[in-house]
Structure 1
């Protein structure tokens, strides 16, 4: 990449959900989101991926702590329960009904999120490495937006 080349993250024009790529719960949440995102609003990238690391760095977020998923929307981002509720707001089905919980203070919402995040590997397990996405959702991954072939 030269100084004149655009930053790869700048080529993303849709919200990107960054998630822990080795977490079974997180991978299930991606599949859930795809199922209820009929318009294809969201793109996905593991926090551990090149583009995930690039987006984390852009917002001065830790690049080695994968206990939160991050929703990146243009020049804005949200983490933890706020990210989850912002995703719910844009899904099809009953899920937007959860969005009003965003008006509760984070100090009430985030401890629940943190509890699940702390215990997710023990309860749901983890993979040794980020799995290759299923073919039906592969085009929804942010890295695919960077493919030039």
Structure 2
């Protein structure tokens, strides 16, 4: 099992590395944060899926199109205009692509923790599958504006 990020971009393995980056505004990083494409209908659906199943209200969310989202994308040397990966920040570590999805499933508990079986695949395969979905996600729909929170979930979203 992998304890670190599957992506070896500079800064990805450094615990809380964004805190030392003056280009990244301070944000509460005491709970897991998912940075997602707020204009993507598929990605917004994934957020709704998590919100519905995260009974402990553990996860927070941030649209990649926000100033903080863009700063995090730049910090991890990701293209801040091409959101083909979501970012999971948890306990000072960053997880991209399939590893982030697997860790989210584990945190949601059964039956979603079955996603950990994805670790049986080589990283290149599981990230390759992730990339196929990411490249085609906008075919499922594009939103004109970022995902809007639902009543009662406002505190789970960072601006």
Report the Cα offset of residue 120 of structure 1.
Answer: 1.2
Structure 1: any 5+ residue segments left out of the alignment? 1-6, 144-149
The answer as to whether partners of 1:38 and 1:92 remain within 8 angstroms in 2 is no
Kept in 2, the 8 Å contact 1:20–1:48? The answer is yes
Bigger mean CA offset, 81-90 vs 71-80: 71-80
Match of 1:86 among 84, 95, 103: 103
Structure 2 residue aligned with 1:146: none
SS in 1 for 2:100: helix
Structure with bigger helix share is 1
Is 1:29 the equivalent of 2:54?
no
1:8 correspondence with 2:41? no
Q: C-alpha displacement at 1:61, in angstroms? A: 3.1
Shift of 1:54: 2.7
Q: Does 1:126 align with 2:155?
A: no
- Matching of residues 63-142 of structure 1 within 5 Å: 63-122=80-139, 124-142=140-158
Q: Which runs of 5+ in 2 are unaligned?
A: 1-24
TM-score in terms of structure 2 length: 0.77
CA RMSD after TM alignment:
1.8
1:38-77 equivalence runs, <5 A? 38-77=55-94
Distance 2:31 2:49 in 1: 18
Matched residues in 2 for 1:75 and 1:33: separation? Answer: 21
How high is the TM-score relative to the length of structure 1? 0.82
Work out the CA distance in 2 between the residues paired with 1:135 and 1:111: 36
The CA distance in 1 between the partners of 2:60 and 2:120, in whole Å, is: 26
Matched positions, count: 136
Q: Distance in 2 between matches of 1:33 and 1:85?
A: 13
Deviates more, 1:57-66 or 1:70-79: 57-66
